[in-house]
């Protein structure tokens, strides 16, 4: 059954009331919409009624015309760098734009009198790499949820459900939309406190997605690939007390049947041990201002919450955020302002998002009693989140700054920030401002590089 829900301020939200237990792949006829009235990954090709969201053209793939890009590990220039903002939303005028603001943004305006959002023209010009398009097309008619909703089967990598039928399928897309096989780089994270002080950490990391192994043709499914969906290896560069600590994590395809495996090398004892529990609501990031399962929007098991799909909305959200990590526009201090990232470095555009809400499941424990995610229809990246405390009060508002990476030919999750409303603190991770950019063209790393033996070998180099 479908209906429209009246939102505060009079906006209409199309809500699809669907069962969380929907497993089915779509028919060949429905899948044929991909590349026609739907984009190759499942977004609506058409713009909105008033023209403020343009039609998807996908006219560029890779480096857009006129963009001087230096290649892997260099900063990606924006194809829209010369644009002027359309308008600025402030604490004084936000009610005029309320229909296209999420609850968390409204809370930011009401919490911080100087907070603002700088809104630019919306763009949908860029397409995806050919492999991601082909994988999504194959998955549409083959991939299904499995083991309740904790896993997928008949899955060949890339976006699992380009035409989703339920909330868990939308959330699965946020963890399967990766368009590259391996990424390597270094980044900084900062906890920024209301008194102006900061906590800092820095990480060198390698990450591989086994279902995107370039040696595996389409369709290669879990029968060959196995149960590991993400492999991560990190080395701490800062703070000093953790420098040299190396961690390897293997995330399963099925969190119900298999556990997340993690090992850690301690430079103090020079030993590799099984890492403590990494998951759910364990505090994470400098200052502990986010949870492990906040990372990249959502990760880990589904089992702590029950989910519902609230449909789609048009909202102002972070998009095409090339400026934030480009040192040509200033230094770190200009970005890490008190209470929130400097809005002059966070480009906002109007786009359509899928909205998924999770309520704490009966008998389960988590720091959050409710969670809400806003997911870009074009790239399946989470772009914003709202997390509520045990009393049902809005606690943390997340922004995920994405940009189109030319060498990967897709939109990637880049810098993220979680605003802790009661305290006025925030944490921001995956900042590459003072470092080389992430490299998406490194050779594929096999699972043997993410084992205790690999940690020992790396530690003795």
Distance CA 224, CA 210 (A): 10
Distance CA 235, CA 323 (A): 27
Segment (H or E) for 373: strand 370-376
pLDDT computed for residue 327 by the predictor: 97
Distance CA 154, CA 220 (A): 9
Distance CA 223, CA 210 (A): 12
Q: Which of 267, 232, 238, 233 is nearest to 252 (CA)?
A: 232
Domain boundaries, the chain: 2-181+284-438
Contact 128, 409 (CB under 8 A): yes
pLDDT computed for residue 269 by the predictor: 93
Strand partners, 266: 271
Contact 200, 238 (CB under 8 A): yes
| HSE value, Cβ hemisphere, 13 Å, CA-based, for 187 | 22
Contact 291, 205 (CB under 8 A): no
pLDDT computed for residue 452 by the predictor: 95
**19 to each of 121, 166, 307, how far by Cα in Å?**
36, 6, 9
| HSE value, Cβ hemisphere, 13 Å, CA-based, for 23 | 10
DSSP 8-state class, residue 25? P
Q: Collapsing DSSP states into helix, strand and coil, what is residue 143?
A: coil
- 86 burial class (0-12, 13-18, 19+ CB within 10 angstroms)? middle
How does 257-291 read in b/e, with b if 16+ C-beta sit within 10 Å?
ebebbbbbbeeeeeebeeeeebbbbeebbbbebbb
Distance CA 140, CA 70 (A): 36
Contact 189, 431 (CB under 8 A): yes
Asked if the bond preceding 382 is cis, omega within 30° of 0, the reply is no
Strand partners, 235: 204, 246
Segment (H or E) for 394: strand 394-405
Tokens 């709202």: give the residue: 386
Distance CA 300, CA 292 (A): 9
Q: What's this model's pTM, rounded to 2 decimal places?
A: 0.94
Neighbours of 390 (CB within 10 A): 13
* Stated length of the chain: 461
Contact 439, 111 (CB under 8 A): no
Contact 306, 355 (CB under 8 A): no
Per-residue pLDDT of the chain (461 residues; tens, 9 = 90+): 333 343 433 344 444 444 444 566 999 999 999 999 999 999 999 999 999 999 999 999 999 999 999 999 999 999 999 999 999 999 999 999 999 999 999 999 999 999 999 999 999 999 999 999 999 999 999 999 999 999 999 999 999 999 999 999 999 999 999 999 999 999 999 999 999 999 999 999 999 999 999 999 999 999 999 999 999 999 999 999 999 999 999 999 998 899 999 999 999 999 999 987 788 999 998 999 999 999 989 999 999 999 999 999 999 999 999 999 999 999 999 999 999 999 999 999 999 999 999 999 999 999 999 999 999 999 999 999 999 999 999 999 999 999 999 999 999 999 999 999 999 999 999 999 999 999 999 999 999 999 999 999 998 86
Strand partners, 246: 235, 265
pLDDT computed for residue 256 by the predictor: 87
Sign of CA dihedral 253, 255, 258, 264: positive
Sign of CA dihedral 449, 276, 286, 238: negative
Tokens 């959050």: give the residue: 368
Tokens of 143: 């991939």
Q: Collapsing DSSP states into helix, strand and coil, what is residue 23?
A: coil
pLDDT computed for residue 18 by the predictor: 41
């Amino acid at each position: 059954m479908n209906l429209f829900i009246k939102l505060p301020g009079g906006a209409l939200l199309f809500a699809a009331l669907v069962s969380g237990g929907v497993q089915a792949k779509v028919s060949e006829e429905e899948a044929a919409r991909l590349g026609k009235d739907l984009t190759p990954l499942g977004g609506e090709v058409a713009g909105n009624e008033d023209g403020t969201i343009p039609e998807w053209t996908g006219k560029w793939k890779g480096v857009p015309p006129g963009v001087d890009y230096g290649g892997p590990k260099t900063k990606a220039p924006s194809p829209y760098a010369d644009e002027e903002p359309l308008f600025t939303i402030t604490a004084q005028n936000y009610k005029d734009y309320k229909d296209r603001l999420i609850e968390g943004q409204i809370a930011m305006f009401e919490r911080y009198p100087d907070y603002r959002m700088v809104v630019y023209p919306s763009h949908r010009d860029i397409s995806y790499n050919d492999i991601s398009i082909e994988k999504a097309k194959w998955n549409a008619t083959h991939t299904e949820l499995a083991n309740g909703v904790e896993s997928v089967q008949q899955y060949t990598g890339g976006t699992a459900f380009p035409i989703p039928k339920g909330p868990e399928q939308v959330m699965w897309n946020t963890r399967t939309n990766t368009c590259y096989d391996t990424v390597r780089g270094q980044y900084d994270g900062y906890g920024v406190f209301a008194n102006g002080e900061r906590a800092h950490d820095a990480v060198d990391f390698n990450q591989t997605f086994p279902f995107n192994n370039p040696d595996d043709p389409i369709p290669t499914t879990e029968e060959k690939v196995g149960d590991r969906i993400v492999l991560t290896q990190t080395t701490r560069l800062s703070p000093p007390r953790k420098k040299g600590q190396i961690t390897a994590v293997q995330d399963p395809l099925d969190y119900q049947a298999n556990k997340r495996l993690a090992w850690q090398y301690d430079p103090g004892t020079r030993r590799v041990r099984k890492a403590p529990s990494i998951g759910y609501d364990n505090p994470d990031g400098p200052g502990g201002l986010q949870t492990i399962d906040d990372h990249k929007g959502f990760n880990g098991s589904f089992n702590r919450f029950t989910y519902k799909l609230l449909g789609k909305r048009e909202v102002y959200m972070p998009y095409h955020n090339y400026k934030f990590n480009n040192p040509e526009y200033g230094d770190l201090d200009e970005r890490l302002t008190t209470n929130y990232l400097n809005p002059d470095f966070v480009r906002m555009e109007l786009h359509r998002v899928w909205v998924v809400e999770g309520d704490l499941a009966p008998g389960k424990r988590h720091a959050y009693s409710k969670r809400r995610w806003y997911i870009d229809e074009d790239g399946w990246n989470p772009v914003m989140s709202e997390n509520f405390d045990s009393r049902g009060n809005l606690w943390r508002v997340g922004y995920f700054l994405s940009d189109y990476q030319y060498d990967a030919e897709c939109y990637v999750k880049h810098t993220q920030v979680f605003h802790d409303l009661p305290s006025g603190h925030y944490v921001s991770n995956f900042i590459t401002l003072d470092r080389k950019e992430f490299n998406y063209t490194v050779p594929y790393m096999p699972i043997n590089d993410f084992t205790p033996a690999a940690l020992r070998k790396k530690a003795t180099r």
